[in-house]
Amino acid sequence: MEDVKKYEGIAEILKSMAHPVRICIIKGLMEKKCNVTHMQECLELPQSTVSQHLGVLRAKGIIKGERNGLEITYSVVNEDVKKIINAIFD
């Protein structure tokens, strides 16, 4: 039964990643930390949409934001997610 709990956690991480925009955000943040405005321009999506995706990733502990004045710069902090993304794109 302990294994099932471990797998549930992994499944939650995978579910939170399972959107093309979120995969793109994670991959981009692994290459370079950036803010919402930069992501919005790269993804050609409204700021509110990008912020919603960031909220999901932040809630699962995949990314974190560092405030510098009015700007928040995001980066990927979950090492397992980095491995998954690297495995997918290698």
Q: Which tens digit of pLDDT belongs to each residue from 22-58?
A: 999 999 999 999 999 999 988 999 999 999 999 999 9
Contacts of 12 (CB under 8 A, 6+ apart): 60
* Length of the chain as a residue count: 90
Distances from the Cα of 63 to the Cαs of 1, 5, 53, 74, 90, in angstroms?
A: 29, 22, 11, 7, 21
| pLDDT band for position 6 (cuts 50, 70, 90) | confident
Choices 1.10.10.10, 2.60.120.10, 3.20.10.10, 2.40.10.120: CATH for 2-89:
1.10.10.10
The residues with which 15 forms a beta bridge, in sequence order, are: none
Q: Which tens digit of pLDDT belongs to each residue from 73-89?
A: 999 999 999 999 999 99
Tokens read off for 63: 């990314």
| pLDDT band for position 1 (cuts 50, 70, 90) | low
**pLDDT at site 5:** 84
Distances from the Cα of 83 to the Cαs of 26, 77, 87, in angstroms?
A: 11, 11, 6
